[in-house]
A and B are shown apart, each in its own frame.
Chain A
Amino acid sequence: MTETGWKARGVVKGMAEGPALISQTALSFLGDLDIRSGRVVGRSSDLCGEVVTGRVLVLPETRGSAGAWRFLYQLKVHETHPAALVLRELPDPSVTQGAFLAEVPIVVVADTGFWQAVTPGDRLRVDAVAGRVTRV
C-alpha cells in the first residue's frame, strides 16, 4: 500500500505513530477520560468505551475545562496516554500545556482531504517537527 501524506501544523513538537482513533465529537480531557485505564467514559463522546492509550487520537476539537492539562499529564503519569493528537482546530492553551508536559505531539490538519480519507484503525505517523501526517 502506498503512503499518503497531508500537511500539518506542528503545535507540540515530536514524532509518534499508532492506529487512528477517530471521533466526530469534541473531547474533554477532564471528565471524559479515566486516567487509570485510558478509557473514554464521557457519554457525550462518540468514543465512549474506547481506550486512547497508544492511539493517534483524531478529533475535530477539544472541549471545556482549563483543568484539561492536568488530565492529559496524568494519562502520561499512568502510562495510559495517546500517542499523538490530530486536531482540526487549534486547542485551548491548557491542552497544549498538558501535551508539552506529557510529551504527546499535537498537529492541526486543515486539509479537508485528510478528514475525508482517514478511517478508524489506519496506521498514522505524526511528525509535528516536519509538519506532516502520513498513513503508512
Chain B
Amino acid sequence: MRLSDHDKALLAGDQGRAAQLAMEALVQLGEAYDAPDMVDIGYAHVHAGMALYKGDVELIEATAEQGARMVVPVSTNIANADMGDWHSTGAPDSLGQLQKRAEAAHRAMGSATSFTCTPYWAGHWPTWNMHIASIESGVTVFANSVLGARANRDGFFAVYAGMTGRYPRFGLHLNANRQATHRVRVTAPPRGTADFTALGYAIGTAVRNGVPLITGLPFRPGLDDLDALGVGMATSGGVAMFILPGVTPPYDSDADAAGLPEVAIAEADLQQVFDGFCTGDETGFDLVHLGCPHASFEEMKHYAALFAGRRIAEGVEVWVTTNRVVRQMARDAGLLAPLLAAGAKVVSDTCPISCHFARTCSPDASLGVTPPKIRTILVDSAKQAHYVRDMIQCPTLFTSSERAVESAISGRFVPRARQND
C-alpha cells in the first residue's frame, strides 16, 4: 500500500499516540481489502460510545484520553439514552450519567455531539465525490445515493478516519464499485415515508449486497422519501448504495442497467413487508413509535399537524424521535407544543431499539438496567420494525405515519391502506 509522507509521519507517531494507533488500524484495513493507497476524507460519522454495552463508553474515553482530536467535521451516531431527559423514557440515572461521559469524551475530541442516525438533518451534508467514513448504514446509503459522496459501511474505524482525515481507497470509494448490479422495476407507487421504507426493504431483500438501479417511480421522491428508501434497503440487505437515475450523482435520468439481473417490485411486495411486520395484538400495543430514522424538520411538521388538537388513547405511549438540532428547530417553530399537548413524548439521542428496551445488549450489572415488559410496538418504519423484532424481541404492528397516529388516538390498530382502497 502506497502511503503519503503525512501517513508515514502519523505512523511514526509525529501527531501523538492516538493518531499513530488510528493510522496503524487504517493501514491494516487497507491491506485487508488490497487498497492501493489512502484518500483524504471530508467528514466522518462516528460511534457514540454506547452505555448499554460493557466497556463501550470506556473505549471512547480511552481514545480521547490518548489525545485523539478530530481533524475533519465529525458527527456522532445514535446513543443509548436521551442525555437531556432520560427520565422520560424510564432510563435509570446510572445509564444516563454513563452515556453523558461519552458525550464529554466526544466534546474533548472536537466531535459535534449530534447523537443521531440522521446527521444530515442536523446539517452534516457531504457533497459529490467527497470521501467520508460512516458507522451508520443509513448515513452511508444516503451519502452515496442522494449526495454523491463516497462511503463504505464502516464500524468503529470511522473514529480513526475522523482522527487522521484518511481512509483506505476500497469499496465504494472506487468508481468501479459504484455501478449497478441489478435493475429494479417498481410498479407500486409508494405513498409516504412508511411505504418508502417498505419499498427499500423489499429491494434489499432481493439484491442483498448489490447496487440496485431503480426504475418506474412515477415521481421524483422528496428528501424524506429518499432517506426512507435507503434505510429500508440497508436494513434488509447489505445495500450501501442505490442508483436512482436523475437523482443519484452523476447518473442522468436516461441511465439504465440493461442486461443486468431484473427485480420487479409490485404493490403485493410492499404489502407483504407490512404484513410480515404485523405480528402484534391490534388492541394490545403499548408503544407507538414515530421517527425512524430520526425525524427531519418536515416530518416533525407532519407529525405535529396529525396530532394537533387530539389526545392519545389511555394506556398508549407515543414517542416521536428526532435529533437534538431538529428538536430545537421544532421547539422554536411551535411544533413541540401540539405533540406534547396530545400526550406524546419527544425523544432525542436514542430510540426504542437503541435504548434500554433492547435485549441483545449486555450492560454492566451495576447500572441496574432492566428492559421493561412490552407487549407490542407500533411503528411507521420497516427499519424500526426489523430491529424491534431482533433486538427488543417483541411483536410489532407496521402502518403508514398517518394511520399510526390514528391508531395512537383510537387505541386500535389501523392498517395501511391497500393501493386499491
Contacts and interface: CB of A to CB of B under 8 A. Distances in A.
Contact of B390 (A30, A92, A93): A30
A97 B360 contact: no
Contacts of A69: 155-156
Interface in B150-184: 152-157, 171
Given A65-B137, A70-B50, A92 B29 contact: no
B391 interface: yes
Nearest to A35: B362
Contact of A35 (B33, B360, B390): B360
A112 B310 CA distance: 63
Given A11-B32, A35-B362, A97 B154 contact: yes
B33 A90 contact: yes
B139 to A, nearest CB: 9
Contact of A94 (B32, B56, B154, B362): B154
Interface stretch (A16-24, A51-59, A72-80): A72-80
Interface string A9-31: 01111000000000000000011
A64 B205 CA distance: 10
A34 interface: yes
A128 to B, nearest CB: 10
Interface string A113-130: 000000000000000000
Interface residues of A, number: 34
B28 interface: yes
A31 B29 contact: no
B156 A101 contact: yes
Given A64-B238, A77-B54, A93 B28 contact: no
A93 B53 contact: no
Most B CB contacts (10 A, CB to CB) among A63, A64, A71, A101 go to: A64
Contacts of B234: 66
A74 B362 contact: yes
A98 B137 CA distance: 15
B29 A97 contact: yes
A106 B33 CA distance: 12
B390 A68 contact: no
5 contacts: A30-B390, A31-B387, A93-B29, A95-B155, A97-B156
Interface of B: 25, 28-29, 32-33, 47, 50, 53-56, 135-137, 140, 152-157, 171, 209, 234-235, 237-238, 360-362, 387, 390-391
Q: What are the nearest 4 A-B pairs in CB distance?
A: A69-B155, A97-B155, A66-B137, A31-B390
Given A70-B155, A74-B362, A94-B154, 8 more contacts: A12-B32, A30-B360, A70-B50, A70-B56, A74-B54, A93-B157, A97-B154, A100-B25
Interface of A: 10-13, 30-31, 34-36, 42, 63-71, 73-74, 77-78, 90, 92-98, 100-101, 106
